[in-house]
Amino acid sequence: MKTLIILSPILIVLMAALYFIWAVKKREKKQHIKKEIMKSGNQGEYKVQAVLRPLERPNSPYRVYHNVKLGPDLLHTNEYDTIVIGPNGIFHIETKNYGGERGGIIDIDSKQNWILHKKSGYSKIITNPTGQVDSHEYRLQGFLNRVVGVRNLPTQGIIALACDGIVVRSQDEPNKDIPVLGRHQLLSYIKNYNQGKLVLYPRTIKKISHSIEAMNYKQQAQ
C-alpha cells in the first residue's frame, strides 16, 4: 500500500507527460495539414493567375486583381481570389485546387453535395463552393452600389478548378448561374461572356479599378 502511495505521484507525472506529448503531436499534425491545404490552395491560385495573364497586358481592355478584399464598407468585406473587370462584365473567380497535382473525380449528387474521389481511392464530402460564391456576389454588389456608386452592372461568379486532372460528374444539369470551369476554359468564357457585347465604358472600368485599389490600400493601412 505504501509503495502504491509513493508511486502514485510518479504515475500522475508520467501520465501528464504522455498526455502533453500526445497533445503536442496532435497540434503539430493539425498545423501540418493546414499548411499543406494552404500550400495546395496557393499553387492552384498561381496556376489560374498564369492562365489569366493575357488579360493583364498593357493593351488589354481588362483589369485583373488577385487576393483583394471588397464590400460595402471596410468592416464588411470578403476576400476574392480573383476579380476581372472588362468591357463585357465583372467576374469574381473562386479558385479550388481539388485533387492537388494528381487530380480525381468530383461527383455532384441531386442534393448538390460534392464528393471528391482521389486517385488514391480515398473519398470524402467537400463543401459545395457555390455558397461561398453567392456570398462574394452579395458583397460585390454592395461594393459596386455603395463604394463605386454604380448599379445594374453584369457580374458573374465562377468556380475555377486549377487541377488539370480533375473531372466533374453531375447528376443534374450543370449550374448555369455559377459555372464550374477548368482553368484553361477561363479566358474563352470571360471573353465570350454576354457574347462579347460592350456594356461597360472605359471610364466605368477605370472608376471600379480605382475604387478596388483605394479600398485595399485602406485595408492594408489599418
CB contact at 8 A, 74 and 147? no
Residue 217 has pLDDT above 60, yes or no: yes
Q: Is 164 helix (H, G, I), strand (E, B) or coil?
A: coil
Strands 166-170 and 104-108: parallel
**Mean per-residue pLDDT, 73-80:** 95
How many Å apart are CA 57 and CA 131, to the nearest integer?
32
Residue-wise pLDDT for 167-201, tens only, equals 999 877 777 799 999 999 999 999 999 998 889 99
pTM, rounded to two decimals: 0.79
- Which residue bears the cell 452579395? 138
- Which residue bears the cell 493539425? 30
How many Å apart are CA 76 and CA 53, to the nearest integer?
29
Q: Which of 141, 132, 146, 151 is nearest to 93 (CA)?
A: 132
Strands 123-126 and 155-161: unpaired
Confidence at residue 99, expressed as pLDDT on a 0 to 100 scale: 82
Residue-wise pLDDT for 84-94, tens only, equals 999 999 999 99
Q: Is 93 helix (H, G, I), strand (E, B) or coil?
A: strand
Residue 2 has pLDDT above 80, yes or no: no
Residue-wise pLDDT for 25-74, tens only, equals 666 545 543 444 454 447 889 999 999 999 999 999 999 999 999 999 99
Q: Is 62 helix (H, G, I), strand (E, B) or coil?
A: coil
